[in-house]
Amino acid sequence: MEELNGSFQGSGALPLHTVKHLYLHVPLCVRKCSYCAFASQVYSASEEKAFLHALEIELSCLKTFLLKPETIFIGGGTPSCLSKTGLEKLMHLLNPFCHSGLKEFSVEINPGSLDHEKARIFYENGINRVSMGVQSLNDRILRQLGRIHSAQQALHTFSLLREVGFKNINLDVIFSVPGQSLDVFEATLADILGLKSEHLSCYELTYEEGTPLTRWAQETNFKADELLSCQMYDCLLNKALEAGFSHYEISNFSRPRKECLHNIAYWRGKEYYGAGPSACSLLKGVRYTHSPSLAFYCQSMEAEDNFHQNLKWNDWQEDVLSPLARAGEIAAIGLRMTRGWRFDEFYERTGYRLHDHWAEAMQKLCSRGEGEFFEGGFRLTSRGLRFADLAAEEFILLCV
């Protein structure tokens, strides 16, 4: 059973040797997209150098804990916007974490910043899963989103990845973009499905605070068309299933045995370590988050001695939840998966029983047609998945 009521604060024993999932955040992009609130800044050679130097310190501290991950995910930002020398260095830094038990080694790429040589660097260094941010195959929508690539470039990059040898490719798509009709979305979806990737992630556009898109929506009093969004989501479900994908998480579809193991670890509440600015780690029920500021992150890594003394980074922000609150969070995140929770699996993971603490929440969701019991467990219905954030509140609010 996972120990949710333990914390390693002051215990002097970072439980890193048991961590099975490593995330690495590359905080640079060629240009900021109009909707993006991720921690990333515009690429410069000097920032790449500073970032890789700081990351080298973090990863060399980490490797002394003999961390042998089952999954590594290089995300961002845009990992593929690093220079070729930068990418070679990055892969070299990750080498000590690659071992025979590493099942999945993913990288996110942007079709506007990947060429043949960079794809080969990833392939030759053991990357076995590529996640490509396509977002749309309509040039007008791509421009509106502020993407740096065209539809043609995305198609070309997909062929290039296949030529290099990648056999596990995810395509990221966004729907419900202002001005996007159902026909335009359907056309993108048909072209995307025609590529026969192994995995598909399709997200509804969200309006995050402080982005140019959100400012535009506020200034023009734009309201998203909820009915159209529901039609697009229904169309996505139908077409993806028809194309042979299985739907395993609200926004994620895969071919058999091609589910993203790294993301599944998050959704099942497993421990992970995140390196790089803004990256989160979840260790013994405590969430530690690096500063989103590249400069502050770099300074913190320079104070390496401090880490050895306190077993914590200076820029880490700690978020300590009570074990019950953490279990509520795990319940909510896990329900994003179509398989929901088996009662015994949830107990095994958290030490709490869903029926003891969330019986009312589950009943409420059933009465709204958003949840259902199955033999030995509970899951969201397709209506519940569409409104999963509201369902999550039922589990999380209880524990505040």
Strands 246-249 and 199-204: unpaired
Compare residues 38 and 123 and give the one whose CB is closer to ligand SF4.
Answer: 38
To ligand SF4, the closest distance from the beta carbon of 41 in angstroms equals: 9
- Interface with ligand SF4 (CB under 6 A), residue from 25, 51, 77, 259: 77
Strands 286-289 and 280-283: antiparallel
Please give the Cα distance from 344 to 295 (Å, whole number).
45
Count of positions on this chain that bind ligand SF4 (CB under 6 A): 11
Length of the chain, in residues: 400
Is residue 38 close enough to count as binding ligand SF4 by CB under 6 A?
yes
User: Which one of the spans 72-80, 191-199, 316-324, 353-361 is the region binding ligand SF4 (CB under 6 A)?
Assistant: 72-80
Compare residues 40 and 263 and give the one whose CB is closer to ligand SF4.
Answer: 40
Is residue 76 close enough to count as binding ligand SF4 by CB under 6 A?
yes
Please give the Cα distance from 286 to 106 (Å, whole number).
25
User: Which one of the spans 70-78, 178-186, 215-223, 303-311 is the region binding ligand SF4 (CB under 6 A)?
Assistant: 70-78
- Interface with ligand SF4 (CB under 6 A), residue from 71, 80, 106, 110: 110
Is residue 78 close enough to count as binding ligand SF4 by CB under 6 A?
yes
Residue 252: name the closest of 147, 339, 142 by CA. Answer: 339
Confirm if 379 and 341 have CB atoms less than 8 A apart: yes
Amino acid at 65: F
Q: For the stretch 131-149, what's the b/e string if a residue is b when 16 or more beta carbons lie within 10 angstroms of its beta carbon?
A: bbbbbbbbeebbebbebbb
Is residue 157 close enough to count as binding ligand SF4 by CB under 6 A?
no
Residue 19: name the closest of 79, 101, 76, 83 by CA. Answer: 101
To ligand SF4, the closest distance from the beta carbon of 161 in angstroms equals: 17
Confirm if 301 and 57 have CB atoms less than 8 A apart: yes
Compare residues 40 and 176 and give the one whose CB is closer to ligand SF4.
Answer: 40
Is residue 32 close enough to count as binding ligand SF4 by CB under 6 A?
yes
Compare residues 29 and 354 and give the one whose CB is closer to ligand SF4.
Answer: 29
Which chain residues interact with ligand SF4 by CB under 6 A?
29, 32-33, 36, 38, 40, 76-78, 110, 133
